[in-house]
Amino acid sequence: MNPKERVITEFKRKYNQDPKWVVRSPGRVNLIGGHTDYNDGFVLPMAINYATWIALRPRSDKKVVVRSLDLDGRIEFDLDDFENTDSGWGEYVKGIAWALLEDGLQLSGWEGVLSGNVPIGSGLSSSAALELSVAKAFSLTSGFSWDVLKISKIAQLAENDWVGMKCGIMDQLISAAGEKDHALLIDCRTLESSPVPLPAGTAVVVLDTNTHRGLVDSAYNERREQCESAAEFFGVSKLRDVNLDEFHKRETEMDPLSRKRARHIITENDRVQKSAEAMKNGDAQLLGNLISAAHKSISEDYEVSSKELDLIVEIALEQPGCFGSRMTGAGFGGCAVALVDEDQLDSFVTNIMGQYKNKAGLEAKVYVSRACEGTSVIEM
Ligand code: GLA
């Protein structure tokens, strides 16, 4: 049973009626633009065909009751009185309620069941998928309008200040605003986005190294600080404001670590914009080359890759029909992404699984991904 069928079936079993709504919000894969979002830069993610689903109905009181079919347990809290109890996935639900209330919205209670198939902790944004599906549940039951930019910022606030992960805006925005068959070029300063089509005849393949990200939050926050001090060196608020020429003029005056971090962000912003152009021109090979260059940069200069991620990218690049590959998400484990010629997809998948197993001693998981629309609702 897929997660949509599961939540509907379980809802009916538990409440003896159909849910009033079923909401869905997808995970994402970022084609290129690693760690640029919190530098006010550019990213090129797409929402994928793996999502979180919630079947729900309104309540007449102020309680929120959600049961997860995948992770242990259930969460119940009163919207007038709740606090952070560090209770795992439930804090994402409470965090969204908190951030919506902070924004001045009036919330009413609801209850339902939740299930999803976005791999957790693999860099495919299972948290943003959960956050946006919960936000959608609140918008339906509390009757406030769904403004994609506003809701994405609210979800980011929940993750930053309730959960404590100082992420940028990319994951929440793409989960909310994804478009079928397209990636979105997002300017993370203005939050303007434009859809760009995937090159015809290619497939976006997610390669899960089957390693989980360790220490990711602290290393992530550390990278943010390093970028901030590099921006200070250039006298700007964000590295987005430094172009390649300015960087090259002054890079030798920088300390070696700041220089590497800044070089990744500044060259990556340039690659993202070139990638969007390549996609508009249907140039899969150029896009692939930019993606592979992005991996080298994020691995060597930004140092958020891992030996398994480097290995799976290296294996991918050796396969016929692979245009390019890089790690995706925050890094330190989790997934890479590859752009592959559709005609060679089957052998690509078989070879990756076999060779990764031989060399890493681990089973890779491979997800052939389609670009899908963002958060959506089925009225029952
Ligand atoms: C995580 C964060 C995003 C982004 C990526 C790296 O997914 O949630 O905001 O910074 O890492 O590109």
What is the full DSSP assignment across 320-334? Answer: TTEEEEEE-SS-SSS
Instruction: State the pLDDT at residue 214.
Output: 64
Residue type, 225: E
DSSP string, 124-182: S-HHHHHHHHHHHHHHHHHT----HHHHHHHHHHIIIIII-----SHHHHHHHH-BTTE
pLDDT at 86: 85
Q: What is the pLDDT of residue 257?
A: 97
In whole angstroms, give the CA distance from residue 92 to residue 175: 15
Closest CA to 220 of 37, 21, 10: 37
**Sequential pLDDT tens for the chain (380 residues):** 899 999 999 999 999 999 999 999 999 999 999 999 999 999 999 999 999 999 999 999 999 999 999 987 899 999 999 999 988 899 999 999 999 999 999 999 999 999 999 998 888 999 999 999 999 999 999 999 999 999 999 999 999 999 988 999 999 999 999 999 999 999 999 999 999 999 999 999 999 999 987 667 788 999 999 999 999 999 999 999 999 999 999 999 999 999 999 999 999 999 999 999 999 999 999 999 999 999 999 999 999 999 999 999 999 999 999 999 999 999 999 999 999 999 999 999 999 999 999 999 999 999 999 999 999 999 88
The pLDDT of residue 273 is 98
**E strands, 230-315, where?**
none
Task: Report yes or no: 209 and 308 within 8 Å, Cβ to Cβ.
Answer: yes
Nearest CA to ligand 1 atom 8: 167
Q: Characterize the bridge pairing of strands 182-187 and 193-197.
A: antiparallel
Between CA 131 and CA 125 the distance in angstroms is 10
Q: Whole-angstrom Cα distance, residue 61 to residue 76?
A: 12
Distance CA 304, CA 219 (A): 8
Chain length of the chain: 380
Beta pairing partners, 88? none
Distance CA 272, CA 281 (A): 14
> 369: how many CB neighbours lie within 10 A of its CB?
21
Question: Candidates 157, 171, 299, 327: which one to mutate for ligand 1, based on the most atoms within 8 Å of Cβ?
Answer: 171
Question: Which pTM value belongs to this model?
Answer: 0.97
Determine the residue of 31, 35, 184, 186 to mutate for testing ligand 1's pocket, defined as the one with the most ligand atoms within 8 A of the Cβ atom: 35
